Amino acid sequence: MKYNARAALPAAEAILLASLVIILLISVSASPAGLDTSITPSTVLHCITSHLPVISSHSTTVTATQDAIVWGIRMPRAITGAAVGMLLAMAGVAFQSFLMNPMADPYMVGVSAGSALGSAAVILAGGSAWLAGMAQPLAAFAAGMGSMALVTALARINGRLSAQTFLLAGFVFGTFVYSVTRLAISIANRQSDTSKTGQILSQLLGSLQGVSWQSLWLLMPMGIAAAWMLFMARKELNLMALGEESAAHLGVDTERFKNRIILAGSLATAATVAVAGIIGFVGMVVPHIARRLVGPDHTRLLPCSMLLGGIVLSASDLIGRVWFNGLEVGVITAMLGAPAFCYLLRRKLVSAW
């Protein structure tokens, strides 16, 4: 058992949690170039305490502009970013473990393509402001869950869902749906309304610009439900690592178990795509790094992956927002993620998962 030495690293969770908190504080305090309003960590602190119900102090040191920037723009963005990173990494762990495939990521199942199409359809219909702006994320979420149901139905043969058919069905379905999204882009382009094309593209690139407190109303319930379902299934996930047959012999109802994992993973993924678009590579690379840190036991792997995912996404968004003039976070994670994955592959870590 090669990983026992790793698992002895006792403070991994504590270090990760501390790092996440520090990165969140930096991303809320750091201003991009060209902002005259001074926002210091103490402004941030005053601003946050003034919004807390119990210790609310009507601090006169925070101006309305500072409050709008910190509480209205940066806080929801930082929290949503961390939550999205957590959910993607968590879903990545679940899909990699139960498909027994180190290449698996939350988007393999066609959920992301479905969600993106749902968004694109609403944007194309000119409804990005319907239902107080919630129409687009809700449609994306619904389309993502619908895709999950379709792919699962497509892959199930004689009541049994094999990992290989599931991957294939997800790939085929995802490719097809993505081509429909490209059709949507082409139609939007012909309407010569550049804002529609821009909105669909920003969904595909994955961006946290435009995230508000409202976004968390969709993300939080789905995310907490999914995290709870996966954490409850941590023992079965461990057993699945021995192979589906062994797991079945050890008393796991594998078909029901798979349904639960797919449902939880899709809930998490569809919710993230609904609020932030498709953010690549976090769900694929972070679980591998987490495995290196704490080993394959899902009791520690799930929370560590989540924390690490939150760190990676928050840091990427911070970099893009402050130093690259608002570059989409999905572009940054992809640019950092692919080399990181390549490095892990070279070190033969992927094959040792």
Instruction: State the amino acid at position 251 in one-letter form.
Output: G
Stretch that binds another protein, among 26-34, 219-227, 231-239, 258-266 (CB under 8 A): 26-34
Residues 272-331 that bind another protein (CB under 8 A): 289, 292-293, 311, 315, 318, 322-323, 325-326
User: What is the rounded CA–CA span in Å between residue 152 and residue 109?
Assistant: 9
Closest CA to 23 of 316, 303, 227: 316
Distances in whole angstroms, Cα of residue 221 to Cα of each of 2, 55, 83, 148: 37, 26, 11, 19
Residue 73 in contact with another protein, rule: CB under 8 A: yes
Looking at 14, 32, 57, 175, which residue binds another protein (CB under 8 A)? 32
Comparing CB distances to another protein, the nearer of 199 and 266 is: 199
**Strand ranges for the chain from DSSP E:** 156-157, 160-161
User: What is the rounded CA–CA span in Å between residue 120 and residue 156?
Assistant: 29
Query: What distance lies between CA 113 and its chain's CA centroid?
Result: 14
User: What is the rounded CA–CA span in Å between residue 184 and residue 4?
Assistant: 50
Looking at 15, 232, 250, 345, which residue binds another protein (CB under 8 A)? 15
Give min distance, CB of 294 to another protein, in A: 9
- Unique residue bearing structure tokens 């590579």: 281
Looking at 142, 171, 180, 193, which residue binds another protein (CB under 8 A)? 193
User: What is the rounded CA–CA span in Å between residue 329 and residue 206?
Assistant: 6
Stretch that binds another protein, among 82-90, 93-101, 192-200, 238-246 (CB under 8 A): 192-200
Looking at 30, 142, 150, 331, which residue binds another protein (CB under 8 A)? 30
Annotate 231-292 with DSSP letters as a single string: HHTHHHHHHHTT-HHHHHHTT--HHHHHHHHHHHHHHHHHHHHHHH----SHHHHHHHHHHH
| Count of residues of this chain found to bind another protein when the rule CB under 8 A is applied | 62
Closest CA to 240 of 353, 110, 114, 129: 353
Comparing CB distances to another protein, the nearer of 126 and 339 is: 126
Show Cβ contacts of residue 137 under 8 Å, excluding neighbours closer than 6 positions: 119, 215, 218, 274, 275
- Unique residue bearing structure tokens 């057993």: 239
- Unique residue bearing structure tokens 């309304």: 193
Stretch that binds another protein, among 8-16, 112-120, 157-165, 177-185 (CB under 8 A): 8-16
Looking at 209, 238, 254, 259, which residue binds another protein (CB under 8 A)? 209
Stretch that binds another protein, among 34-42, 81-89, 245-253, 264-272 (CB under 8 A): 34-42
Give min distance, CB of 96 to another protein, in A: 19
Comparing CB distances to another protein, the nearer of 73 and 248 is: 73
Looking at 133, 150, 224, 229, which residue binds another protein (CB under 8 A)? 133
Looking at 47, 50, 62, 77, which residue binds another protein (CB under 8 A)? 77
Residues 226-265 that bind another protein (CB under 8 A): none
Q: Which residues bind another protein (CB under 8 A)?
A: 6, 9, 12, 15, 19, 22-23, 26, 29-38, 64-65, 68-69, 71-74, 76-77, 126, 128-129, 132-133, 189-190, 192-196, 198-199, 201-202, 207, 209-214, 289, 292-293, 311, 315, 318, 322-323, 325-326, 347
